[in-house]
Structure 1
């Protein structure tokens, strides 16, 4: 499954921020070089190279 197939779905994403990894949950809005998710606290933008894991939740 491609990341683009998860667009519009609720996802869990783990991102590497230097030596730290951070989990986020939200609705995947776009997926190309930049990954955009909409969380309860607003939109988050990540470089796709920093993404370690992305999975659909709430199937």
Structure 2
């Protein structure tokens, strides 16, 4: 299938998943908040410090 159709199908499935999560959260009395993905991996979710590249402990000589 074409790129456009694949994108549309992917967005449709994501929308159905979001709707189901909202429904389940409402049943459990939990507020579901949608957060835009842009910039979310730039900072540590626990302490909000900017993330830096680290080499794997088992491959210190390999490039990142």
Q: State if a TM-score over 0.5 links the two structures.
A: no
Which is higher, the Rg of structure 1 or of structure 2?
2
Which TM bucket (shorter chain)?
A: under 0.3
Structure 1 length-normalised TM: 0.17
Which structure has greater helix proportion? 2
Which structure has greater strand proportion? 1
Tell which has more relative contact order, 1 or 2 (C-alpha 8 A, sep 6+): 1
Structure 2 length-normalised TM: 0.16
